[in-house]
A = this chain, B = another copy of it.
Amino acid sequence: MPKFMDVHRGMKGITAEQLREAHNADLAIEKDEQVHFEMAWADPESGHVYCLSEAPSAEAVQRIHERAGHMADEVHPVPLTVK
């Protein structure tokens, strides 16, 4: 399944609890689109949130985020990964 990195901006001041709630809102409905949100990282100072997912398409990622109430500003396929 392809991997995607999406970016949300404008989340300045986001707390650990708000990040958890937003991520849980995605997890609750992700199966409707065969998406899985693996991890998310947030910078409360700049307001950026990065989400790593597996999904059939960028549009599927965005549909889940939109229904969960937080559309992404960018969704990028990331076919290349290194550890």
Please give the count of copies of this chain that the complex contains.
2
Q: Does A52 contact B (CB under 8 A)?
A: yes
A43 close to B82 (CB less than 8 A): no
Please judge, given known A-B contacts A43-B76, A76-B48, whether A83 and B38 are in contact too, CB under 8 Å.
yes
What is the interface of chain A, defined by CB distance below 8 A to chain B?
Answer: 3, 5, 14-16, 19-20, 23, 38-46, 48, 50, 52, 76-83
A-B contact pairs, 22 of them (CB 8 A): A5-B41, A5-B43, A5-B48, A15-B80, A20-B82, A39-B81, A39-B82, A39-B83, A40-B81, A40-B82, A41-B52, A42-B78, A42-B79, A42-B80, A43-B76, A43-B78, A44-B80, A45-B76, A45-B77, A46-B76, A48-B76, A50-B78
